[in-house]
Structure formats: structure tokens, C-alpha cells
Structure 1
Amino acid sequence: MPLFAAQAPAEPWQSGVSNDGTIASAQTSAAGKILDTGCSSRLRAALYFTLTGGPHEGMRNVDDTSDSMMMWITLSGGRLARHPVDGHDVDAAKTFVGTLPATEPAMEEFSSGSRIAFTTAEGITIFSAPMEGATKARAAFRKACGI
């Protein structure tokens, strides 16, 4: 039985590098929520996440309050990789902003995964989408940020 139930159809990942080549970003959406992911060459060791479309069930949903979620990536053979994403809520709790250390294993999982999901500490799924286009996103992150 899959850990994450399928949600409404998602858009493939769209990605790119800024004109000056110092910032890369990627975006996907599903079920009325938008996940933006990015990096900056000035801050090489981190991948940034912005999830809009909240409030997010099971999260604190209080502006400027620390919160965290777990990122799950479904890999080949159904294996799951998990990474904690620490951050905080902003914009009247409609947006979660978080960071993840951009380790080589995490970045490789990101580019080769088939599905990404974010859950609360209690296991409530906040966001879930296929990873179609994530390999191109990883190439943009590598080009702009070296990750």
C-alpha cells in the first residue's frame, strides 16, 4: 500500500537559471498548492522550499513561527528517502518557507525520484506531486549553485 495517496493531477516541474547565472529555481503544483524550490550560488549548501496555498493541515499555520515537515521522495523499487525540512510560516499562514541541506545523496534522490511528498510530524500529507522534470531542475541547481 503506498504511503501517500494520489492527489489531483500535478504539473510537471518547470525550472530555470537566472540571467546572471547565480540563482536556479524549479516549480510544480498540485491540488491548489505551489511548490517552489531553489538555490543561490551565494548559499551553495542549501535547497530552499516555498509551499504556498495554505493554511496547511497539521501545521502550526502561525506567521513567523518555526515549523517543520518531512520531505519524502519515492525512489526506484518503491524505496523512500526522507529528509527533514525546517522553516516557518509566513503570509498569514498561507506559505511555508523551509530549507534542506543540499547534500549529494539528497540531490541525487531529488533528481532520480518518481514522487515527492511533504508530511507533518504526525504524518498528514501536506503536498504530493510526481517528479516529472526534476532531473532538469537538478541540472539547473548544479549549473547555478554547484549542487
Structure 2
Amino acid sequence: MVAIPAVLSRRGRPAGADALGLAWLLGASPDVLASLAPKAVTSPIALGINEQLGGVIPLMMGGLLVTGVMTTALVGLLSRPMKIRDPRILGFVLGLNGHVIGTVRAFEIGPTAGAFASLGMSLTGIFSAPILPSSHWPGDCWASRQQMG
């Protein structure tokens, strides 16, 4: 079970930080940043976060869909060469990163994978919902950068 904390921490970065950081570096507007910020959680939670951050709902939903589909495809492709066959790990990764689409795929693998996917999806929502809207995120930095320049 050592792999689960490693996957959860993502080397110390919060879920979705890579895409958000890349968008910020490319000069994305605050609306785009606010829309990408909640892409790591499931839709009902992401809608609430998106509303608080002032994002664009269709862009956020597109990000969620792409994230879920890509996670489902990549976990299947990458788990084989990495010889990861434990349904607990596969399920947790699918739920953590793939939201409902990943959780459905995990239940196709088996009930244990589905249970761990549900756990991963729930934990992501539990930690992201209160923290993300109240944190200092790149949209604030973007606004500061525009005022300085």
C-alpha cells in the first residue's frame, strides 16, 4: 500500500496543479484559470468550486471530461508495462484522477477496485472543496502580474 500515498501526494502538488500551472505560464486569463482549477474533482463539487472562483462552466466541464477519459485510457495502458495489477491501487488511481468515469471503469475491473475508486474520488472532493476556493491560486498572481506590467 506504499503506492497510494505516493499517488495521493503527486510529489507534493495538489491535484490539478500541473495543468493550472502550465495554463498560467502560457498566460491564460483568470476565467480560464478559474475554470481549470477544479478539474481534479467530480462534477457536482467542481460546479460549486467553479462558481466560487468565477470560472466558465462549459470550459470546466470540458476539462473534467478530458481528465476522466484520459485517466481511464492511460491507467489501462500504463499499468500493464509497470506491472501494477493490484485492484486497490488501480481503483484508487482511477477514482482519484478519473472521477466518475474512472470509478465506472474501476467497477468493471471488480468490486474491490470500485470501492477504492469511490474512496479516491471522495477524498479528492473532501480535501479540494474547502481548500481550493480559499487558497492563493495562480489567478490571483495573474491579476497582480497584469497590474504591475
TM-score category of the 2 structures, normalised to the smaller one: under 0.3
Please report the TM-score for the alignment, with normalisation by the length of structure 1.
0.26
What is the TM-score when the length of structure 2 is the normalising length? Answer: 0.26
> Which structure would you say has the larger Rg?
2
Give the structure, 1 or 2, with the largest relative contact order (CA under 8 Å, sep 6 or more).
1
Q: Which structure: greater helix fraction?
A: 2
